[in-house]
Amino acid sequence: MDQPPELSPEDKAYVEEKTRRMVAVAALRKIQRLVDDYRDGKAPLELRRPGQSRELSPEQQASVPPHARRVAGFAAMLKVQQLVREYRASQEAAKKAARNIAIFFAALFVVGAVVLLVTPTVLHALFRMLS
């Protein structure tokens, strides 16, 4: 048992695909955690400075297929783009809601001003009734 058992090509492909997917999912989860922490204000956003580099150990590098990191990076980029689109859409919806609220109160103010100018006695009677 000095040598590990040899896998068939189908099993190797299966292991590589599973590894690629696991690395991609881990990257997406980390990005989602960073985004959630940043949104909720739970933790500061920590980005490594250029001087701080962290290398994988040779054993870890050998265990991860070379293309898995590229795929994980691509998946992370897609997730970031999706989050940016969601953020922009929510900001646009918030602006639209604020605009509608402002228009409603402006129209209410204009109607009140017109009623005050046209028939001030009706408005005074309304004020007396409310007080």
Closest CA to 6 of 46, 68, 15, 89: 15
pLDDT at 97: 96
C-alpha–C-alpha distance, residues 84 and 105, integer Å: 32
CB atoms within 10 A of CB 66: 7
* Nearest-5° Cα angle at 25, 10 to 67: 50
Higher model confidence: residue 71 or residue 12? 12
Residue with the bigger pLDDT between 19 and 68: it is 19
Distance, CA of 75 to CA of 79 (rounded, Å): 6
Q: By the 8 A CB rule, do 43 and 37 touch?
A: yes
pLDDT in tens, 29-87: 887 777 776 666 655 555 555 555 566 677 766 777 767 667 777 777 777 788 888 88
Contacts of 104 (CB under 8 A, 6+ apart): none
pLDDT of residue 129: 86
* Helices 66-118 and 120-130, packing angle to 10 deg: 110
pLDDT at 66: 66
Token pair in block for residue 2: 């000095």
What is the per-residue pLDDT across 83-117, written as a single tens digit (0 to 9) for each? 888 888 988 999 999 999 999 999 999 998 888 88
SS3 of 44-97? CCCCCCCCCCCCCCHHHHHHCCHHHHHHHHHHHHHHHHHHHHHHHHHHHHHHHH
